[in-house]
Amino acid sequence: MKRAVIFLVMLILAIGLVSAADLEIKHTGPSYVQAGAEANFTVTVKNLGYREETLNIRQDPLSSLPSSRFDYILLETTKLVLGSNEEKSFNVRIKLKKTIPTDENYGTHILFTSPFDENLRLQHGFILRVVPPEDILDLSVSIPDRVGPGKDLEFEIVMENNLNTQLNDVRVIVSSELFNDEKDIRLFALQERNEKYVFQIETFAEPKDYELNIRVIYNSEIIDRATAKFSVLKNADVKEIKHETTGFLTKTYSVVKTNYGNSAVEESYKLDLSRFQKWFVSYSEDPYEVNEEVVWRFVIDPDSSHKVSATVSYRPLALALLVIIVFGFLAYFWMTKNLTIKKQILKVSENKDGISELKILLHIKNKTARTLRHLAVVETLPKIIEPTNNFGTLSPEKVQKGDKGVRMMWVVPELVRGEERIISYKVKSKINIVGAFLLPTAKVRYKRAGKLVTVESNQVRFVVGGSEKNNQ
């Protein structure tokens, strides 16, 4: 009851028609306001009398007390001088405290006095209804249920200002997993405003349900919010590119599969290779199975590619053959590019009872790439024959006789590269030889790289009445 009486008194004060001193006072401005917001009023004063009036203006003294519901009351002017039938206006800014209870009415006033008439004392009142934040604005959203990847999502937000005052710097925040947007707008008194939004959905957006969140902020406070749901549709789009590349003794088969869709897909690739090719193939990754065909299976994520390849290379086979050939050549070269000694027998005299005298030749040839020095040539004769004193151009350094036969040694001081030296000597038999006999090998000894090297000649088998044969 008490609150109703106060409201009635303030309403009477707010009528704005004052007969005292023939002054008419009225104002325009909002009736509803948010807690902590500022309300702007335009106050108009008209002098209806026949004399000039001077007015002093001041705010309600109680509004500045700590217990007041107002932060401040600001007057554009504190003095008016009005001639007869003259009208003037000024602004009044009133801000309520942010902590006051909402859904209540709050009143205050300004005071007019005259410096020339102490009986002139007029009050002009203002009444403001403080609404809760959620009542300041009505918010709704219209959005389609689904959208395809790579397409535009279009939706509309409708905002209605429930206050008969302008709202400046209203921030509208739109957000989801796929997009975000913020903008500042102005809402006029009691205005209904439509805001349209268009966002392109990424081609590779995951197909699922998404939530759209809308928040409207005014004076650093959320005054309304809304949510809506939409779905991104599934899209499968896989492209395949095959290549065959031929190189030196190689052939590579490859495939690249790219997922242009927005969901992971399982793919496979099959390659037909001959049994012979499978002996020489290598893979970029292990196949799923290798039977008549080589099969790969793999999963491709959205906006991703997967490549598999198989390379058939005969290079290892060619390399192995080349190594064998080179090794054989080197072996042959090594064997032929060495010192050689060959024994040969010439029949000198023969009678009906057999051979009585032979001439033996030792062919020594340097097939190496360098000069050889201090070569020792050793010849061993069986017991049944003995050397004569008929030697060729080179006589032996030593001749040793033993129980098993005769051992002779020649010394060749130097044998240059490619040079051939022939050592010859004659032997005679202690008894007449009939049939076949075998002469043992001759040997050449020399040092190469600090190591002693021994090279043997062939054995010589001689048949009386037949021909000479060499056993290698």
In the predicted model, is pLDDT for residue 28 greater than 60? yes
Residues 424 and 446 in one domain: yes
Residues 377 and 348 in one domain: yes
Identity of the residue numbered 422: I
Residues 251 and 221 in one domain: no
Residues 447 and 347 in one domain: yes
35 inside domain: yes
Quote the pLDDT of residue 38.
86
**Range name among 11-15, 56-60, 139-143, 412-416 with the lowest pLDDT average:** 11-15
330 inside domain: no
**pLDDT tens-digit series, residues 418-468:** 888 898 888 887 666 566 778 889 899 988 888 888 999 888 887 655 444
139 inside domain: yes
Assess contact for 41 and 92: CB atoms under 8 A: yes
Side-chain half-sphere exposure of 110, counting CA atoms within 13 A: 28
Among 210, 232, 254, where does a domain finish?
A: 232
CA–CA separation, 348 and 360 (whole Å): 10
Quote the pLDDT of residue 314.
84
Q: What is the 3-state secondary structure (H, E, C) of 316-342?
A: HHHHHHHHHHHHHHHHHHHHHCCEEEE
Q: What is the CA radius of gyration of the chain?
A: 62
329 inside domain: no
Quote the pLDDT of residue 19.
44
**Where are the strands (E) in 97-191, listed by range?**
104-113, 121-131, 137-142, 146-147, 152-161, 167-175, 180-187
Quote the pLDDT of residue 11.
45
Residues 465 and 343 in one domain: yes
Of the segments 171-180, 278-287, 291-300, 312-321, which one has the largest average pLDDT value?
171-180
Domain span at residue 459?
338-471
342 inside domain: yes
Split into its structural domains, the chain has a count of: 4
Kindly report the average pLDDT of the chain as a whole number: 84
Instruction: Report the pLDDT averaged over residues 354-381.
Output: 84
Among 131, 154, 173, where does a domain finish?
A: 131
333 inside domain: no
Residues 166 and 210 in one domain: yes
Residues 217 and 272 in one domain: no
Sign, CA torsion 273/279/280/281: positive
Among 186, 214, 232, where does a domain finish?
A: 232
**Range name among 309-313, 323-327, 378-382, 432-436 with the lowest pLDDT average:** 432-436
Residues 142 and 262 in one domain: no
CA–CA separation, 123 and 18 (whole Å): 9
The rounded percent of the chain whose pLDDT value lies above 90 is 28
Residues 50 and 120 in one domain: yes
CA–CA separation, 77 and 110 (whole Å): 12
Residues 89 and 61 in one domain: yes
CA–CA separation, 422 and 428 (whole Å): 20
**Range name among 193-207, 269-283, 319-333 with the lowest pLDDT average:** 319-333
Residues 360 and 281 in one domain: no
Identity of the residue numbered 92: V
Quote the pLDDT of residue 98.
85
Residue 265: which CATH number? 2.60.40
Residues 401 and 281 in one domain: no
CA–CA separation, 192 and 8 (whole Å): 32
Tokens of 107: 């009143």
At 153, the pLDDT band (50, 70, 90 cuts) reads very high
16 inside domain: yes
Residue 383: which CATH number? 2.60.40.290
Tokens of 437: 């006999």
377 inside domain: yes
3 state SS of 419: coil
Instruction: Report the pLDDT averaged over residues 276-299.
Output: 86
CA–CA separation, 75 and 457 (whole Å): 135
In the predicted model, is pLDDT for residue 372 greater than 60? yes
CA–CA separation, 303 and 259 (whole Å): 6
In the predicted model, is pLDDT for residue 3 greater than 60? no
Identity of the residue numbered 357: E
CA–CA separation, 83 and 32 (whole Å): 35
Quote the pLDDT of residue 470.
43
Residue 25: which CATH number? 2.60.40.10
